[in-house]
Structure 1
Amino acid sequence: MAIKRKIYALSLILVTVLVLAFVLFRIDASPRTDDAYVYADTINVVPEVSGRIVELPVKDNQLVKKGDLLYRIDPRPFQNSLDSSLAQLVTLDEQIKLSERSVSAQQYNADAVAAEVASARSQYQQAQDTYNRQLALAGKNYVSREELDLARTARNTAEANYNTAKLQARQATAAVSGVDALVAQREEVKVQIAEAKLNLEYSEVHAPFDGRVTALKTTAGQYASPSQPVMTLIDTRQWYVIANFRETDLKGITEGTTATVFVMADTSKAFSGSVDSMSYGVAPDDSSTVGGLPLVEKNINWVHVSQRFPVKIKLSEADRGLFRIGASAVVTLHRDHKVRQD
């Protein structure tokens, strides 16, 4: 009887050791933590322009689709600005047309005066040549003094006319204006039009992706400005779980390591995922320094607690009604299983 008891006791011890070994193996192969929470990317929906909200078709915690209207700011000031700039552009276009016709007339006049200069120059040159011939002949008594005086007078008159024509040509050329200033002003107005159109577009804010509205604490009639978000939008297209694992559990854990996730709100549902990334730095508790050197307490704590590092788990599926940012979760990593990377 005593032998049977010994055998029974040894068998029980052996089974206990085997079970313990199996549990330790499973723990080592599949580290687990309940220090985890659900996470998703969010954006603050901040208006690009200031104005009063005239339409707010969404409510807090509502699901929205990409492109859905979130809110509309009173567009009238921006529409008025656009209409005013468009009217200025039309006015400038008409002014440019009138100025171009005036410039054309001025250029025609300058061209005509330039032709008169050429004619006066020819007449002056001809009078000068005639006077030179008369002067040469007068030395040989072939031309009377009266004829020489007439040639000199004709030359002087032609020279005066030539000088007058050149002065008129300079004045006509200087009088030719341009439309450069109006064209530059037109470009400035076009910039104002583009800005007014952009502000008018900004008066309507649409969802940039499928998501859920949260942190909405206002209603139509509120004055909105770029310095204050109207709401927060949760990106529900992709959910994550941030799990804090002991540093001793991270051996062999890499990007793509598969994971099983349970959300504490309903532990009957398991969700699959894989490691998206792991943190490579956390703030230590004893990070205070003295004179640039670390401050180490003199007392010794013989129990060393392993540091925990956040591991970001990308979920392959999600429950729209169950998943909330910050919800508690339990994560198990499967060290020997990896997701195939494309």
Structure 2
Amino acid sequence: MASKPNPIASRIVPALLVLVTLLVLVYVLWKLDASPRTDDAYAYADSVDVVSEVNGRIVGMAVRDSQAVKQGDILFQVDPRPYDDELARARASLAALDTQIAMMQRTVKAQQYGADSARAAVSRAQAAAAQSIQTLKRTEPLLSKGYVSAEEVDRARTAQRSAEAELEAARMQAQQASAAVTGVDALVAQREVALADIALAEYRKDMTTVRAPFDGRVVSLKTKAGQFASPLKPVFTLIDTRNWFIVANFRETELGRIRAGTPAAVYLMADTGQIFRGHVDSIGYGVLPDDGGLVLEGLPRIQRSLNWVRVAQRFPVKIRVDAPNPDLFRVGASAVVRLEPGTAKSSH
């Protein structure tokens, strides 16, 4: 005789399945809320456009596309010959100016000797004038007593006036000699300008050799030796490989628990087996809306996936990777990020 199905058991099993499903769903939702995760992320590193600071033709390209370089490595060489000539002219100008200064110093010294001689002549003329005055004072009273003649008094008066005239002439000559004494101040100022020209020429010559400003990787190199380089035209781009970041776009509803310093676990789609640790470096405070709102140029534009419902906006969260694999990380590489707010160390 066939046994009848237990009606209680037939009702309990589906109920248990529903309960377990609900518990799993609650756990998953809790886990997602406690550890926000997104696969809308990509690798990022700072970069610079490498340009020549001087105009000239590239005579040597020391790197190739995608090559890793160290800080200080030579990247390319601009023809230095025009700048060698510029430096030689600046140094020749300084040498000529130094010669002119030396000659002027000798001239000034001679002028100074002339001025000193003129001042000595004034002193002699002053002494002669003083003596002629004393002689006239002694001679004039003797005329009335008959000790001297009128002619002798006249000669004494003439000598006194002559001495006064010579003194005045000596003073004028001394003033002219002093005024004629020049200086080398103007030439010394020109020498400072010449030194500045030399420093600038040396700097421009040094800039013909372009070196890596930091450890990085060469990308977008599409030229070679023979190309004319100028400060307005980048030769290639250099990625700063010293610091790697992951830019992860999180929903605005998840930003409440994200802080600078929040630990993160990331991996790249190129190799999902390598997990990298990192921490939140910064949180974006602006994106470019795509729903017809205010357009703010320069902000990141993030597309919303649905148009017929109100979708939470996503904001970029920049995560610094602690120990990136230099061979694996590439700018723009797809990544997956899981934040771990509960594991953040408290700071005091």
- Please report the TM-score for the alignment, with normalisation by the length of structure 2: 0.90
Match for residue 216 of structure 1? 221
What letter corresponds to residue 134 of structure 1 in structure 2?
A: T
Structure 2 residue matching 1:251: 3-state secondary structure: helix
Q: CA deviation at 1:339?
A: 5.2
Partner of 1:318: 324
The CA distance in 2 between the partners of 1:130 and 1:320, in whole Å, is: 107
Instruction: Tell me the amino acid that sits aligned with residue 21 of structure 2.
Output: T
Partner secondary structure for residue 162 of structure 1: helix
What residue is the counterpart of 2:27 in the other structure?
22
SS in 2 for 1:237: coil
CA shift, 1:109, in A, is 1.8
1:129 aligns with 2:134: yes
Q: How does 1:97-246 map to 2 (within 5 A)?
A: 97-138=102-143, 143-246=148-251
- Taking the aligned partners of 2:112 and 2:18, their CA distance within structure 1 comes to 115
Q: Give the superposition deviation at 1:133.
A: 3.5
1:297 counterpart residue number: none
SS of the residue 1:267 aligns to: strand
CA distance in 2, matches of 1:119, 1:74: 69
Distance 1:138 1:339, change over 3 A: farther
What whole-Å deviation, never above 9, does each CA across 1:72-98 have from its counterpart, x for those lacking one?
111111111112221222222222222
Q: Would you say how many aligned residue pairs link Structure 1 and Structure 2?
A: 331
**Distance (whole Å) between structure 1 residues aligned to residue 294 and residue 41 of structure 2:** 28
- Most deviating of 302-311 and 42-51: 302-311
- Give CA deviations for 1:253-279 in whole Å, capped at 9, x if unaligned: 101111111212222222211100101
The residue type equivalent to 2:100 in the other structure is Q
**Among 306, 309, 319, the residue aligned to 1:303:** 309
Task: Report deviation, 1:283.
Answer: 3.0
What amino acid does structure 2 have at the position aligned with 1:233? L
Partner of 2:10: 5
Alignment of 1:251-270 (within 5 A): 251-270=256-275
CA distance in 1, matches of 2:159, 2:30: 126
1:292 match? none
What residue ranges of structure 1 are gaps of 5+ in the alignment? Answer: 290-300
Asked if structure 2 preserves the Cα contact closer than 8 Å seen for 1:274 and 1:339, the reply is no
Q: Structure 1: which amino acid aligns with 2:323?
A: E
Percent of aligned positions that are identical: 53
- Distance in 1 between residues matched to 2:70 and 2:308, nearest whole Å: 55
Return closer, same or farther for 1:184/1:325 CA change in 2, 3 Å cut-off.
same
User: Who is 2:300 aligned against?
Assistant: none
Q: Which residue of 1 aligns with 2:74?
A: 69
Q: Distance in 1 between matches of 2:107 and 2:347?
A: 72
Alignment RMSD: 1.9
CA distance in 2 between counterparts of 1:179 and 1:24 reads: 86
Counterpart CA distance in 2 for 1:12 and 1:333 is 31
Answer yes or no: is 1:287 the counterpart of 2:293.
yes
Match of 1:329 among 316, 324, 335: 335
How many angstroms does 1:327 deviate by? 1.4
Query: Cα 1:252–1:136, aligned 2, differ >3 Å: closer, same or farther?
Result: farther
Preserved CA contact (<8 Å) 1:256 1:340: no
The AA in structure 2 aligned to 1:132 is K
How big is the shift at 1:340? 6.5
Structure 2 CA distance for aligned equivalents of residues 181 and 277 of structure 1: 57
Contact 1:99 1:179 in 2 (8 A): yes
The CA deviation at 1:207 is 0.5
Structure 2 match to 1:32: 37
Q: Secondary structure at the match of 1:44?
A: strand
Asked if the contact 1:271–1:315 (Cα under 8 Å) also holds between the matched residues in 2, the reply is yes
Separation of aligned partners in 2, 1:222 and 1:136: 104
Instruction: State how far apart, in whole Å, the 1-side matches of 2:225 and 2:140 are.
Output: 101
In structure 2, distance between residues paired with 1:121 and 1:81? 59
Q: What amino acid is aligned across from residue 307 of structure 1 in structure 2? A: Q
Asked whether the 8 Å contact 1:216–1:231 carries over to 2, the reply is: yes
